[in-house]
Amino acid sequence: MDIKVLGTGCANCKTTLKLIEQAIAEKGLTANLEKIEDIQSIMAYGVMSTPGVVIDGKLVHAGGVPSRDKIAGWLAGADTTPAPVRSDGCGCGGGGCA
């Protein structure tokens, strides 16, 4: 499993990375986890609101910190549908924009 966390280094991006690291360790999984901070690389995935999460080349989350349950679902392969992006550019899917 190849996981990329997209974000320039804000608190939400760091929290997202840490939560994914913890979930991988708790499940005893092997994954290639990478943090992408280059803004052009982030935008190439179509992410306008960070953090973004890409699993095996597919954008699964954009904007806001994902829940532990959502992360567990990704790691189980249960939730790999693309994150919805609202017309205002927010990608939280209505789950808690600031």
pLDDT at 41: 94
CA–CA separation, 71 and 20 (whole Å): 7
What's this model's pTM, rounded to 2 decimal places?
Answer: 0.77
Could you tell me which CATH class the domain 2-75 is placed in? alpha beta
Question: What mean pLDDT value characterizes the chain?
Answer: 84
Domain-wise residue ranges, the chain: 2-75
Contact 13, 42 (CB under 8 A): no
Write out pLDDT tens, residues 36-55.
999 999 999 999 899 999 99
> What's the whole-number mean pLDDT along residues 11-39?
94
Cα angle: 50, vertex 52, 46; to 5 degrees = 90
> What's the whole-number mean pLDDT along residues 81-86?
52
> What's the whole-number mean pLDDT along residues 1-7?
95
